[in-house]
Structure 1
């Protein structure tokens, strides 16, 4: 069987998050320092460690079959490359920022201004759609310094926490797009390798679903059981088991972490006791 060739960022946070999800789905990679390629011990996969900006071309050429890559890179360099799964990590924004003392307060104020960026295609498309004309300076590296040295009136770059903007005396004036890691696929992938990728995608979906959910166990008085069950979504329906103590039942269910506290408040208000909340490592649907 041919190995699936999957690319990940060579270093940085996206590399760490990518290797973590591969580990979480049971793929063991032996990668030494400065290795450019490593094979899995227990799965037909080879991992290629590449520069993020080079990955779209490798996918396009079929050098790699799939990649864990920032969506922002696909918007900039790989609009012809499809992705098949959002992975929920390495979230960021691509934003325009200007010096705090700048008189630029909105998008229309960028007309005629100079913008330094590592994402020229993304900025060009966005400004054109907004009917804004600006002069772009492409910079690879520390874009934030451009306004301080008089090269540009503003910048467009990745923003994660916003601390880099703050340290460089910049303020965000426009968000062009929001990005996260995605699982992208080469248009030249073979059917055999696509079958392997399907297995990887299924495992990733199980891990991601688990991260979004909590397993909840509780004791419910039988006279309030119907009201409590109304509060619980469950995958199909909650599991209800009689307790040794007469008039009580044990209820087991899965709850979305986004709804968690509202549901817990409702359960307590309806007499639920002994509520236990457990993380879910993986959830296979």
Structure 2
């Protein structure tokens, strides 16, 4: 049986998050220290550990069938590669940053300036769209140092927490795009491996849905059920079970984590008691 070949970043936060979600979807990978390729014990999968910037070419050439990769890298280097799932982790921004002491009012301040970046395609497209005339210096590596050594007036680079900018005396001025980890697929993937990829994607979707929701159990008097049911629609409708205590019922449902505290407050106001909240490991719909 053919194995699905998937690339992930060889080190760093994206590597750690990718390995974590593969573990959460039940895939056990036998990999030793400094191994560049490893197989899964319980799924037809082979993992390639590669430099993030090299992965788009491996996808284009069909050396790997799929990849967990930063969306920003695909925008820069992944022309013709399809994204089939956004994974919700390793989020970052690609931003313009300038020295802290430098005033900034609008994008027009970048006209005539020198910008250092590792993302020339992304930056050129952005500047062209905004009608800004600036000079690019392409740097592979520590872009943040460019303003300090007089090589550039500004930089465009990945920003996560902003701590690296702060340490180098820079501040974020504009956000070009927002990025997160995605599941990308090679245009040369075989039909057999496409079928395996769909199984992998289904597992990923189940974990991602679980991360986005909370399981809620609560008790309520029967005369308050109608109002509480309106607050807790669940996936179709909440589960309602009678309690041993006469006139009371137990309700089980799911709440989106982004609405969680507002919903809990509303439930309490409408008579809910004994509210128990649980994380969801997987959510199959």
For the criterion TM > 0.5, the same-fold answer is yes
Shift in Å, 1:271: 1.0
1:165-213 C-alpha deviation (Å, 9 max, x unpaired) = 1111111111000000000000000000000000000000000000011
For residue 214 of structure 1, report the CA deviation from its aligned partner.
Answer: 0.5
Q: Write the deviation string for residues 99-135 of structure 1: whole angstroms up to 9, x where unpaired.
A: 0111333211100100000101100010000010110
User: Which deviates further from its counterpart, 82-91 or 97-106?
Assistant: 97-106
1:233 Cα shift? 2.2
Aligned to 2:208: 208
Give distance in 1, aligned partners of 2:103 and 2:153. 10
Q: CA deviation at 1:156?
A: 0.3
Q: How many residues align?
A: 285
Offset at residue 65 of structure 1 (A): 0.2
1:43-72 CA-partner distances (Å, limit 9, x unpaired) = 100000000000000000000000000000
Q: What is residue 267 of structure 1 aligned with on the other side?
A: 267
Matched, 1:25 2:7: no
Aligned residue for 1:149, secondary structure, equals: coil
How big is each residue's C-alpha offset from its partner over 1:58-95, in whole Å with a ceiling of 9 and x where there is no partner? 00000000000000000000131111000000000000
Structure 2 residue aligned with 1:219? 219
Q: Does 1:104 align with 2:104?
A: yes
Shift of residue 270, structure 1, vs aligned partner: 1.0
Q: Which 4+ runs in 1 deviate beyond 3 A? A: none
Corresponding residue for 1:9? 9
Does residue 62 (structure 1) correspond to residue 62 (structure 2)? The answer is yes
- So what's the TM-score if we normalise by structure 2? 0.99
Counterparts of 1:96-175 in structure 2, within 5 Å, are: 96-175=96-175
Unaligned segments of structure 1, at least 5 residues: none
**Partner Cα separation in structure 1 for residue 79 and residue 60 of structure 2:** 11
Structure 2 residue runs without a partner (length 5+): none
Provide the alpha-carbon RMSD of the alignment: 0.7
Where 1:49 maps in the other structure, the secondary structure is strand
**TM-score, normalised on structure 1?**
0.99
Give the SS at the match of 1:147.
coil
Report the Cα distance in structure 1 between the residues aligned to 2:269 and 2:137, rounded to whole angstroms.
59
What SS class does the counterpart of residue 258 from structure 2 fall into? coil
Which residue of structure 2 lines up, in the alignment, with residue 238 of structure 1?
238
2:7 counterpart SS class: strand
CA distance in 2, matches of 1:254, 1:103: 48
Pairwise CA distance, 1:33: 1.0
Query: What is the match of residue 95 of structure 1?
Result: 95
1:85 aligns with 2:85: yes
Q: Does 1:44 align with 2:38?
A: no
Choose 85-94 or 75-84, whichever is displaced more. Answer: 75-84
